[in-house]
Amino acid sequence: MRILFAASEMAPWVKTGGLGDVAAALPIALTRLGNEVKVLLPAYPGLLKDFSDAPVVAELAGLGGTLPDALLREARTPEGVGLLLIDSPALYTRGGNPYLGPDGRDWPDNVSRFGLLSRAAALLASESSPLSWKPEVLHCHDWQSALAPAYLHYLHTQPAGVLLTVHNLAFQGKFARDTLEGLGLPARAWSMDGVEFYNELSFLKAGVQFADWVSTVSPTYAREIQTDAEGMGMAGLLRGRSATLSGILNGIDETVWNPALDPLLPAPYSQAKPEGKAANKRALQKKLGLEVRDDVMLFGVVSRLTYQKGLDLLAQTEAEAALIALPAQLAVLGSGEAALEEKFSALAKRHPGQVAVTLGFDEGLAHLIEAGADCFVMPSRFEPCGLNQMYSLAYGTPPIVRATGGLADTVIDLPAGARSAGTANGFVLGPAVPPALIEAMRRAHAAWRSPALWRQLQANGMGSRFDWRAPAGQYAALYRRIRRPAA
């Protein structure tokens, strides 16, 4: 099948979270299954630099509204995935984060930046495409490309089948009503069964309304978002789509996240040869200025520091006291909300040698924490899929998670007092309150002090397969249900 992806991130060129990983790894896995995948992306500076010789294959002109004309360039990754780059210097040639300006606020022209991405995706998946390559399926990812199915609905007659994957329902791409015209959408699109959402224009709502199929990134999250409690205002709409809504768990890129082959680790290790893990713990302790000790348990965190991730529970006084009393060490890597960053920095200052906090984004340190920590902490309030808990399982670092979304689909709880691990691979807490997290950390600590039990727990995680082959097969099955060659 010919599949056109539309996404705002693709690792390693641009990544702020899981979406960037998925947009990189899933096309490779689909290509290996014999499909032809091209990924449509804004031509950010990093992409233009790496693919500076990418030829112009089309001019995108007269897109409607105030959307600017742009050039379409084509390139190919070493893995054989096609790249279609929308070259619009006015919109995309700028540094920093793809969504936020240097002041930490949304770029003021995000509606045009991702309006253009959506409009271009629709055009390439329609009878009017300037390319001879016609996809059978357009696969949109998150709000940034979710307006494409609305464009196809209102402006085109013979579109490809459209799948919208919601990686995180919290980001809905909402803009003022008066952006409708500039986006080149007709006035009639402003309605409850159009792009309107509580008196704003929502890219994501438009996608949920008009895609042929909607998927999310875990079966549990697909159920949760249909409930009023977790539907973020879209539960009713999503319930109405329940027959064409499903969840497919993300895979992980096992060429990047594999402790036996990981070039970012000082000591490789595997399920068969686990000894190297202890050397990684020592290297991590040394690097972060923690006391270098095998006999103290080390908890690790790699995360965006936002309300979603529930790490405020860990930064709380109650949890701090429990951690220090165990005693255990804590290594945190993350960035996000200023208040939470400050709380964690203060925590580290109060407990030098026992708590280390690194603010920022650091791929190398992320790998070292996954490998060097004994146990990973991820108490998310909601988690569409989550990748870090799967990395942790693969790295023999049993995770502590909340029973939500993809965490619930991947982590099996070790109950208190269990003498053998059975199928358990980690620790699950219920409510997002500090006592529940503390209880789970104590439970993990007790299990860690029982080496045979801990080895079973680690082995259960390291023995699971989380690669992309199975998810890619599930996506291909979905594509077959909705495919429709454009024109």
Instruction: From 68-76, 267-275, 302-310, 435-443, give the range in contact with ligand ADP by CB under 6 A.
Output: 302-310
Does position 440 bind ligand ADP by CB under 6 A? no
Determine the longest span between alpha carbons in the chain, in angstroms: 68
Q: What is the nearest approach in angstroms of ligand ADP to the Cβ of residue 376? A: 11
CB nearer to ligand ADP: pick between 70 and 385: 385
CB nearer to ligand ADP: pick between 109 and 363: 363
Instruction: From 123-131, 200-208, 281-289, 356-364, give the range in contact with ligand ADP by CB under 6 A.
Output: 356-364
CB nearer to ligand ADP: pick between 366 and 373: 366
Does position 67 bind ligand ADP by CB under 6 A? no
Q: Provide the mask over 361-400, with x wherever binding to ligand ADP is found by CB under 6 A and - wherever it is not.
A: xxx--x------------------xxxx------------
Instruction: Select the residue interacting with ligand ADP from 21, 262, 341, 413 (CB under 6 A).
Output: 21
CB nearer to ligand ADP: pick between 230 and 362: 362
Let me know if 154 is exposed, middle or buried by CB neighbors in 10 A (0-12, 13-18, 19+). Answer: middle
Does position 182 bind ligand ADP by CB under 6 A? no
Does position 333 bind ligand ADP by CB under 6 A? yes
| Rounded-to-integer distance, Cα 284 and Cα 287, Å | 5
Q: What is the nearest approach in angstroms of ligand ADP to the Cβ of residue 295? A: 28
CB nearer to ligand ADP: pick between 17 and 65: 17
CB nearer to ligand ADP: pick between 74 and 362: 362
Does position 302 bind ligand ADP by CB under 6 A? yes
Answer whether 59's CB lies under 8 Å from 130's CB. Answer: yes
Q: What is the nearest approach in angstroms of ligand ADP to the Cβ of residue 390? A: 8
Instruction: From 28-36, 91-99, 357-365, 474-482, give the range in contact with ligand ADP by CB under 6 A.
Output: 357-365
Does position 258 bind ligand ADP by CB under 6 A? no
CB nearer to ligand ADP: pick between 172 and 303: 303
Instruction: Select the residue interacting with ligand ADP from 335, 412, 432, 436 (CB under 6 A).
Output: 335
# residues near ligand ADP by CB under 6 A? 17
Instruction: Select the residue interacting with ligand ADP from 98, 334, 398, 471 (CB under 6 A).
Output: 334
Q: What is the nearest approach in angstroms of ligand ADP to the Cβ of residue 362? A: 5
Binding site for ligand ADP (CB under 6 A): 17-18, 21, 302-304, 333-335, 361-363, 366, 385-388
